[in-house]
Amino acid sequence: GEDVEQSLFLSVREGDSSVINCTYTDSSSTYLYWYKQEPGAGLQLLTYIFSNMDMKQDQRLTVLLNKKDKHLSLRIADTQTGDSAIYFCAESKGDKIIFGKGTRLHILP
Amino acid sequence: NAGVTQTPKFRVLKTGQSMTLLCAQDMNHEYMYWYRQDPGMGLRLIHYSVGEGTTAKGEVPDGYNVSRLKKQNFLLGLESAAPSQTSVYFCATRQGRAFFGQGTRLTVV
């Protein structure tokens, strides 16, 4: 199966919280990442979490890591129109970094 | 401090032509990667390097070659371009987290 899986689409109303979920396969992954890609642009690192942590908060962003279930989530509080983008989950797998297919976040007015 | 620079940014090739994409970094990172991004497919790893003089295959290496003669440069070559290689190509370096270039949009006609 896929190394990193995430749902392809998410629609959220402006002002609500967005939660993007991801599952990964490598229990030895040292780092897990969330990247943001706006149309026509490269990938911007949003946040990352070490595998020995279970939560990381950075302003509107909260990352939760459940190592037992190999589940990673990104919560964006007070979602704004500027948050509209594709969000990629990624895991470090040995020397490689493996990406999911990305979740397109659509903001409803 | 430019970070990760990819050249060219855009290119149109005819089927069968060859070209080289250049990735240059000024961060002295050991690890460098080439990915391709296609709609609905996320980022797929083509080749990577863990240091000067080393290269390794990723998920989708066929039709591509790479070289890392100098630590700061990672070259991706297409010997005989095919329409299936139409894509956006991203280079990345890594020290803990990954840093991405802005991408090269390649069209093969």
- The pLDDT tens digits for B29-78 are 999 999 999 987 889 999 999 999 999 999 999 999 999 999 999 999 99
Spell out the alpha helix ranges (H) of chain A.
none
Among A91, A89, A98, CA closest to A30: A91
In B, which residues are within 8 Å of A41 by CB distance? 102-103
Out of B40, B44, B50, name the one closest to residue A95 (CB).
B50
Asked if A95's CB is within 8 angstroms of B42's CB, the reply is: no
Among B51, B55, B90, B56, CA closest to B71: B51
Percent of chain B with pLDDT over 90: 90
- The pLDDT tens digits for A5-37 are 999 999 999 999 999 999 998 878 788 999 999
Task: Round the average pLDDT of chain A to a whole number and report it.
Answer: 92
pLDDT given at position A2: 56
Half-sphere exposure of B21 (CA within 13 A, CB side): 35
Strands B4-7 and B19-25: antiparallel
Confidence check: pLDDT of A1 > 80:
no
Helix, strand or coil for residue B85? helix
